[in-house]
Amino acid sequence: METRRRGLMATATVVASALFLTGCVQSDRDDTAAGDVDSTFVFAASSDPASLDPAFASDGESFRVSRQIFEGLVGVAPGTADPAPLLAESWDQSDDGLSYTFALKEGVTFHDGTDFDAEAVCFNFDRWFNFTGIAQSPSVAYYYGNLFRAYADNPEGAVYDSCSTGDTGEVTVTLAQPFAGFIAALSLPAFSMQSPTALEEFAADDIGGSEEAPALSEYAQGHPTGTGPFAFDSWEIGSQLELSAYSDYWGEQGDVQSIIFRVIDDPQARRQSLEAGSIDGYDLVAPADTVALETAGFQIVPRDPFTILYLGINQSVPELQDVRVREAISLAIDKQQLIDQTLPEGTQLATQFIPPVVAGYNDDVTTYDYDQEAAKQLLADAGYPDGFTLQFNYPTGVSRPYMPTPEEVFTNISAQLGAIGITIDPQPNAWSPDYLDRIQGSENHGIHLLGWTGDYNDTDNFVGVFFGTSSLEFGFDNPELFAALTEARGISSLEEQVPMYEVINETIAEFIPAIPLAHPAPSLAFSDRVESYPVSPVNDEVFNMIVLTK
């Protein structure tokens, strides 16, 4: 593809920080000449990014910023979850499914002026493979660890083998074992191409702290350097992050020349900021706000559901090791009530960990329909006739595409579990960085709320990421399940792969490592000056494709 064209689809008091910044932005807009388009786009983020280095991020707010700054070899076809050429114009796969040769786009530079070329591609692949120490922890290199499985210092089971440069503009990546989702996985921001010069100059891999509480490198705090349409300007943590159009960008520049990501963690405050004109749009509209905003003339743009909200279960907790207890918790939850009371319109009830549109969805999977009496009996059978006390972890100060109002979801489920005799010990943590570090980087948690927005249309991107290897989040060891997922992800024929995943989804349903709750349908809201926005089911939304009217 010659230019980066993305699909365009029409579609109390504000917190102190928002009030403080409103005047500046509004003043800039008042100075815009009549008929001119204001090229500054202000978007309300629900939290700060966890990291400006996408290789060390797994959260949506980090990736929203990353998609403006960085690009990968592979992108996403507009309006879909399907892979498409980006920095690689094409690729060929070897007959054995282990080698991929990419023809690279020419004339592309990183924001520091250095060339994007085959050497830069190999530098990035080798960088990921050679992560050491804290960089390998699930709370840091989450995607690489889950998808590529192992690192150079202990390569047993690794997916990546090597990278080599060929003729001008070509690079070959060789895998150690088949990975059917390899091309699609490269569309993840975590595998974006970053400037080797900047990575070295600003010590990108110099991570301090601990696995449970890693510290950002100098690079990840203020020097992200990619090839995307926008370059990094500044980041005032807790307030806002600013980007500006990269003048030597190879693709389209578009109407938006500067971006302000303003951090407003409260959903009501985001709505009020939009109504006050201090922001142009925001994501994760609270379900109760959509009708009122639309009636007032604002645009509500829904995404198709490509998400999963789940109740995680940590089997390092003794009581949760008994499958009867896990089944009891499943039976205790009225999922439809949870959806009706806390989640957006259009949300689908979940019976498994992939949306119905993903290959391998099993229409006949075992389900646990709401039945609190059966749940109480299972607890008694497991030796807990009077119930027990259980930690329940949930995030605060954030909205996620799969969970716009975490506190409401926590309250709803807590009441339902209390009805079967489980006493809840609430464990709230601020989303960034505490919550993910605690859930993914330590054993110090019980049941917990988390979820996923699918990154590409591949079953492994859901169940493989969750349950493909042992993890601190779920605290179990199930070699048979791990082996089945490893085998399925290496099968390139969809006809052969689908029945394997149908069986795997049934295995997961019976094992109950977590409880699938819902497939929420998140919505965005915009002012009337936004003519169109490149809405994507996988959030691949790059702001140079926004069309503005004033």
pLDDT for 63-91, tens place per residue?
A: 999 999 999 999 999 999 999 999 999 99
Q: What percent of the chain has pLDDT over 90?
A: 82
Do the beta carbons of residue 521 and residue 305 sit within 8 Å?
yes
Q: What is the pLDDT of residues 433-444, one digit of tens each?
A: 789 889 998 999
Q: What is the pLDDT of residues 144-198, one digit of tens each?
A: 998 999 999 999 999 999 999 987 799 999 999 999 999 999 999 999 999 999 9
Fold match flag (8-48+237-303+524-550 vs 50-206): no
Rounded Cα distance, 513 and 510, in Å: 9
Beta strands 99-104 and 389-396, pairing class:
unpaired
Do the beta carbons of residue 207 and residue 517 sit within 8 Å?
no
Per-residue pLDDT at 486 exceeds 90: yes
Q: Which CATH architecture describes the domain 8-48+237-303+524-550?
A: 3-Layer(aba) Sandwich (3.40)
Chain-centroid distance of CA 516 in Å reads: 17
Phi-psi region of 548 (alpha: psi -120 to 50; beta: other; left: phi over 0): beta
Rounded Cα distance, 433 and 440, in Å: 11
Beta strands 40-45 and 258-263, pairing class:
parallel
Dihedral (CA of 246, 247, 248, 254) sign: positive
Half-sphere exposure of 322 (CA within 13 A, CB side): 13
Rounded Cα distance, 174 and 222, in Å: 33
Higher pLDDT, 2 or 453: 453
Q: What is the pLDDT of residues 5-53, one digit of tens each?
A: 222 223 333 333 333 333 344 444 444 544 578 999 999 999 999 999 9
Question: What is the per-residue pLDDT for 7?
Answer: 29
Question: What is the per-residue pLDDT for 24?
Answer: 43
Of the spans 162-171, 227-236, 424-433, which averages the highest pLDDT? 227-236
Q: What is the dihedral of CA 49, 51, 55, 57, to 10 degrees?
A: -50
Q: Could you tell me which of 528, 518, 514 has the C-alpha nearest to residue 476? A: 514
Phi, psi of 432 (to 5 degrees): -115, 125
Lowest mean pLDDT among 71-75, 101-105, 343-347, 517-521: 343-347
Rounded Cα distance, 166 and 124, in Å: 16
Dihedral (CA of 202, 203, 207, 208) sign: negative
Lowest mean pLDDT among 13-22, 84-93, 342-351, 483-492: 13-22
Rounded Cα distance, 253 and 361, in Å: 40
Domain map (residue ranges) of the chain:
8-48+237-303+524-550, 50-206, 307-519
Buried b (16+ CB within 10 A) or exposed e, 99-135: bbbbbbbeebbbbeeeebbbebbbbbbebbbebeebb
Question: What is the per-residue pLDDT for 34?
Answer: 44
Question: What is the per-residue pLDDT for 35?
Answer: 54
Rounded Cα distance, 357 and 299, in Å: 26
Per-residue pLDDT at 427 exceeds 80: yes
Q: What is the pLDDT of residues 106-127, one digit of tens each?
A: 999 999 999 999 999 999 999 9
Rounded Cα distance, 23 and 287, in Å: 29
Q: Which residue has the tokens 């199930």?
A: 478
Q: Which CATH architecture describes the domain 50-206?
A: Alpha-Beta Complex (3.90)
Chain-centroid distance of CA 201 in Å reads: 28
Q: How many CB atoms lie within 10 A of CB 499?
A: 12
For the segment(s) 307-519, the CATH number from 3.10.105.10, 3.40.640.10, 3.40.50.300, 3.40.50.720 is 3.10.105.10
Mean pLDDT, the chain, rounded, equals 92
Rounded Cα distance, 228 and 246, in Å: 8
Under 8 Å CB-to-CB from 307, ≥6 apart: which residues?
A: 355, 401, 402, 451, 452, 453, 454, 519, 520, 521, 522
Dihedral (CA of 79, 83, 85, 88) sign: positive
